[in-house]
Amino acid sequence: MKDKKQMSDNQTLKEIAETLNSENDLQVMLHEVLKKLLSLTGLHTGWIFLIDKQGKYELIADYKMPEALCVRDKQPMCEGGCWCLDRYNDGRLKRATNIIECKRIEDAIELNWGDTEGITHHATVPLRAGKEAFGLLNVASPHKVHFSDDELVLLEGVAYQIGTAIKRVTLAKKENELMLLAERNRLARDLHDSVNQLLFSLVLTARGTKEMTNEPEIKDMLSYMQQLSQDALKEMKALIWQLRPQGLENGISTALIDYAKMLGLEVHMDVNGVLNLSSHLEEALWRIAQESLNNCSKHADVKDVFITFNITNDFVVMTIQDRGHGFFYEPHKELPSLGLLSMKERAELVKGTCHIESALGKGTKVTITIPIEEGTR
């Protein structure tokens, strides 16, 4: 009988491993493995919290949760504290625990949020890979108030597999980002060494040829060619900056000041807090600020730009303001340009917001607010 149970557990772990190895999207992977786990064990419901080092948690996956925990877009699972989170964060929860009365279920019953489907307790298991901790796996069934030692051992094995898979996906994501950065750097070097040099040669050729003729019409045409070449050279330099921001390795504030100088702008920089951000978050802010500075250079008709960073443990807020022409803008209407839309989309990709204020003759102010989550410092 024991051998049969061992074979069943081994088969469960094998199928869980196959599920984890078949997907690289973290959210999809965790949803599918949770679904598979419940199917193989006969348990009814489960959910997974990812938890950062500051104790902030995210409901990353769930399956067949009772109605009471799904009200208001699963709000009961996305806010507030509970026993398992408290003990995970203070270091007391190190193994699969049997059994925890669920505070969220208790609140749901007390506040009459809906049907709890007979679920009152859940087992909870920390997700780990070596010494790294990533979050919690919780499983439950109607009227089940006890998990056997064998069940807890199996859950710990599954949790370790999930933790290892989370680490694999995280490392793969970082590797892809490094590969993308290397490719952008290669393209930037190629553009600088070829197209950029050709444009510079064209500027010099047009200038020199203009000195060799006295024909007014030809001089005008050569002046026009020279201006077009200079404009194209400026655009090419901006493109190279987009691909490989010069000075970003020295911090985003330095890079923005240098980029603004290249555009003929003068930045007044004010930084409150420590700008110790990850390359992922730093690049998102860089791209947004770059678009804003480009708009200022082209449309504001002023040279002074005011950039402020306010950094706390939870958020980084970047504001970019000019006192130029401005434009007519209604906050709840569609954004008037693709550039402004791209700024909003880039902010949303890192779970942030983009707020734009502008009026004719009163300049423009862009405020970007981005949460600082685990892995973004």
pLDDT of residue 377: 45
Q: H-helix or E-strand containing 321? A: strand 315-322
pLDDT of residue 333: 59
pTM of the model: 0.57
Q: CATH code for 2-174?
A: 3.30.450.40
Does residue 190 carry a pLDDT above 70? no
| R_g over Cα of the chain | 28
Report the sign of the C-alpha dihedral through residues 292, 296, 298, 299, in that order: positive
Cβ atoms of residues 129 and 160 within 8 Å: yes
pLDDT of residue 375: 41
The correct CATH number of 250-377 out of 3.30.565.10, 3.50.50.60, 3.40.50.1970, 3.30.70.141 is 3.30.565.10
pLDDT of residue 192: 61
Does residue 235 carry a pLDDT above 80? no
Does residue 165 carry a pLDDT above 70? yes
- Region 222-251: what's the mean pLDDT? 72
Coil/strand/helix, residue 48 = strand
Could you read off the pLDDT of 351-377 as tens digits, one per residue? Answer: 899 998 888 888 899 999 999 864 444
Q: Is 51 left (phi over 0), alpha (psi -120 to 50) or beta?
A: beta
Could you read off the pLDDT of 2-18 as tens digits, one per residue? Answer: 455 555 667 777 888 88
Reference 41, options 129, 164, 133, 148; nearest CA is 148
Domain parsing of the chain, residue ranges: 2-174, 194-244, 250-377
Beta bridge partners of 367: 319, 355
Could you read off the pLDDT of 66-79 as tens digits, one per residue? Answer: 999 999 889 889 88
Which range of 80-84, 182-186, 238-242 scores highest in mean pLDDT? It is: 80-84
DSSP string, 214-265: --HHHHHHHHHHHHHHHHHHHHHHHHHHHHS-TTGGG-HHHHHHHHHHHTT-
Coil/strand/helix, residue 174 = helix
pLDDT of residue 185: 63
